[in-house]
Structure 1
Amino acid sequence: MTDVGIVGAGAGAAAAAFVIDGTVPDADVTVLEKSGGLCGRAATRRHDDLTYDYGANYLKSDDDRVVELITETLDDEGLVEVTGPVYTFDADGTVSPGRDADEHKWSYRRGLTQIAKRLFGRTDATVHRRTRVETVRRVDGAGDTDGGANDGDARWELDDADGEAHGPFDVLLLNPPAPQTAELLRTAEWDDPLRETLVEAVGDVAYGSVWTAVLRYPFALDVPYYALVNTDKEHPVGWISREECKAGHVPDGETLLVVQASGAWSTEHYDDDPAENVAALANHAADIVGDDRLADPAWTDHQGWRYALPDAGVDRGPVDSARDAGLYLLGDWVAGEGRLHAALANGLDVGERVAYGL
């Protein structure tokens, strides 16, 4: 029996677990997720008769392996194409016909979290939700803290916030955003010079925050686009999208906007009163779309993502070296692109590397 531990249940972790479970018959995979949900920032909520993706907006068809995974390998029941192009707007809020008109954009009738749910559902992995990992520990065969990356008897153990121990694991995968992964490594009980090198490399990955407002209206918008994106990075709003362009998400005759603030605005207002942030973003949406009714939504929701989008990838040298200790890092920040397809593709890569190593 080979024991595999995974911290975080994001899209990358789900893809890796899917590959490992399918190619290593004796692998026992355990996933520890701090939240109550799956799929990380590809998050979905439901309210009454609404379904909405309030983090990542859709899955792009930018990776052939991911397209095959979603459309062929997994059950495609409920997979929906997001209709309408993405237009652009500038610092003055001027809208122009835009980009990505010919790309496939996908979600599910039940939202993007279906990706992780379906991947994990095809495995025998044990997923512990609301389990925050606080300590990572490398131990030798006798159970003593040991740092030897090349010690074949050494394994990984994890302690959660409730004092429960998990493991030992032959292989450990870390899927949280880079700042949280760096903190786990910084405090890890692992006596190896590689740990400090990893902490430095992972800690250098900068992240942008995103503060999101979800706005519901009892009328339909008559516009030709699915979404608007700010291309000059000079507007308080970075993105506006219409969830009614995803089949099954919004009742006919209604509008549900997902309004994501720019990184600068999100950082400045992250801890402000949520009601004030929602009102401000609703006003901006009304100005950009050119419809004063949007300043007064009938219902709202919100979410802040402190670690939303990596600015760049990580130095792969230390990440690759960590494999000798049975430690793998994965996620969009490892891929170097803050997109859902990149996280899934990286998870497939890591899963294959783990399976090959085992």
Structure 2
Amino acid sequence: MTRTVAVVGAGAAGVGVADALRGTDTEVTLFDKGRGISGRAATRRKHGCRYDHGANYIKPGEDAWVDDLLDELGTDGLADIEQPVWTHDAEGTIAEGRDDESHKWTYVQGITQFAKRVRERAAASVHKATRIEHIARDEEGWTLTDTEGESYGPFDVLVLTPPAPQTADLLAATDWADDRLSRLHEAVESVPYRTIRTLVLHYPFELDRPWYALVNPDREHPVGWLSREECKPGHVPAGESLLIAQMSPEWSVEHYDDPTEEAAAEAADLVADLLEDDRLTEPDWVDSQGWRYALPDAGVDATAARCGEDAGLFVAGDWVVGEGRVHLAFENGRTVGSRIAERGG
């Protein structure tokens, strides 16, 4: 008998669950509030440019399996960012980063290609632009209801993968009279998160720098991350520059609701000061994206996270691991998917 699995969230963790269940007698359905899939590993197109404004690349580090996985998904359009990542401190002093020869993988068509290729390989169905707001469990399984009042299910298994605060909200809106629900909710709700607002700054000239990106390890500078999208093949036309400025959590919270033009103007001034280039105060076009729940600062209690699994309730994501990396979120999703497969029907 085919099992049915509902996965809320079609980011790296969600497609990881689906990937682990391919080849089993399981039907996986993904639900995502966005118009596309891939979560914070997102790509946009504007004025002839393509840019990754959330997660910037997939960095395997010591996890050699990542390179093998990317090969399996197809190397057509796969690109390695060759320029290094340097650092800057609270005073804006720029320094060479640590010698790190590991790859920084992305795609010519954008980082969203990763989740798209995994979903296609897993043959999972997906409901886009579908925000789940209520969950219920009865003897037939799990039923999901979206903000338009449409219901889905019942499903034998439910996996929640949104950021911990949003997963906590879903758990709070779950109709299931069981002590495990409150235990899980309490654990998930305690995971701390950083807010990040990204400003995208375009210039009609090429910026000559020896680095791909700057990162602020001490988290004391208003610009937490600054990268040059033109370092990615096929993303920015020749002779142009596109900067991705991911602002610090403190700055992002303070300016989260500012109009795009206003926030971009202040961010551009900070970037110009950091790079000592007054031309950067005047981008010719800008874009913005806020991630109220961008990156986890810790992981969930491992034991509490699994307390609902006997009833078919699972959680997955970078916040389960405690580190905001695309490949770690995906790996955790596959780990959860493997546990579902091992449990059988």
TM-score by length of 2: 0.97
Structure 1 segments of 4+ aligned residues over 6 angstroms from their partners: none
Letter in 2 for 1:69: L
Q: Is the CA contact (8 Å cut-off) linking 2:260 and 2:287 kept in structure 1?
A: no
In 1: Cα distance, 2:336 partner to 2:98 partner: 31
Offset at residue 103 of structure 1 (A): 2.0
Match of 1:84 in 2: 83
Report deviation, 1:98.
1.2
CA contact (8 A) 2:213 2:227 kept: yes
Are 1:323 and 2:322 an aligned pair? no
Aligned counterpart, 1:149: none
**1:100 Cα deviation (Å)?**
5.3
RMSD: 1.1
Q: Is the 8 A contact 2:184 2:307 kept in 1?
A: no
1:336 Cα offset (Å): 1.1
Q: Please give the alpha-carbon distance, in whole angstroms, between the structure 1 residues aligned to 2:75 and 2:158.
A: 30
For 2:36, the equivalent position in structure 1 comes to 37
Q: How far apart are residue 67 of structure 1 and its match?
A: 2.5
Residue 354 (structure 1) aligned to one of 319, 325, 340: 340
> What is the SS of the residue equivalent to 1:77?
coil
Q: Pick the aligned partner of 2:281 from 295, 314, 330.
A: 295
Unaligned runs of 5+ in 1: 142-154
For 1:93-135, what per-residue CA distance to the aligned partner results, in whole angstroms no more than 9, with x for missing partners? 1111113541210100011100110011112211000111011
| TM-score with structure 1 setting the length | 0.93
Distance in 2, Cα, partners of 1:100 & 1:161: 48
Percent of aligned pairs with the same amino acid: 52
Deviation at 1:351, TM superposition (A): 1.5
Gap runs ≥5 in structure 2: none
Kept after mapping to 2: 8 A contact 1:86/1:100:
no
- Counterpart in 1 of 2:251? 265
Do structure 1's residue 67 and structure 2's residue 53 form an aligned pair?
no
Residue 307 (structure 1) aligned with residue 293 (structure 2): yes
CA contact (8 A) 1:20 1:351 kept: yes
Greater mean alpha carbon deviation, residues 94-103 or residues 320-329? 94-103
Q: Determine if contact 2:66/2:327 at 8 Å carries over to the other structure.
A: yes
Secondary structure at 1:200 match in 2: helix
Separation in structure 2 between the aligned mates of residue 100 and residue 189 of structure 1, nearest angstrom: 51
Structure 2 Cα separation of the partners of residues 100 and 140 of structure 1: 56
Give me the whole-angstrom Cα distance separating, in 1, the residues matched to 2:329 and 2:201: 28
Q: CA deviation at 1:218?
A: 1.1
Partner-residue secondary structure (3-state), 2:91: coil
Tell me if the contact between 2:136 and 2:175 (Cα under 8 Å) persists in the aligned partners.
yes
Please say if residues 261 and 286 of structure 2, whose CA atoms lie closer than 8 Å, have aligned partners that are also in contact: no
- Over residues 263-310 of structure 1, what are the superposed CA-to-partner deviations in whole Å (9 max), with x where a residue is unaligned? 111111111222111111111111111211111111111111000011
Name the aligned partner's letter for residue 32 of structure 2: E
- Give the match for residue 145 of structure 2: 159
SS of the residue corresponding to residue 30 of structure 1 reads: strand
Tell me if 1:281 matches 2:304.
no
| Counterpart residue type for residue 109 of structure 2 | R
One-letter code of the match for 2:10? A
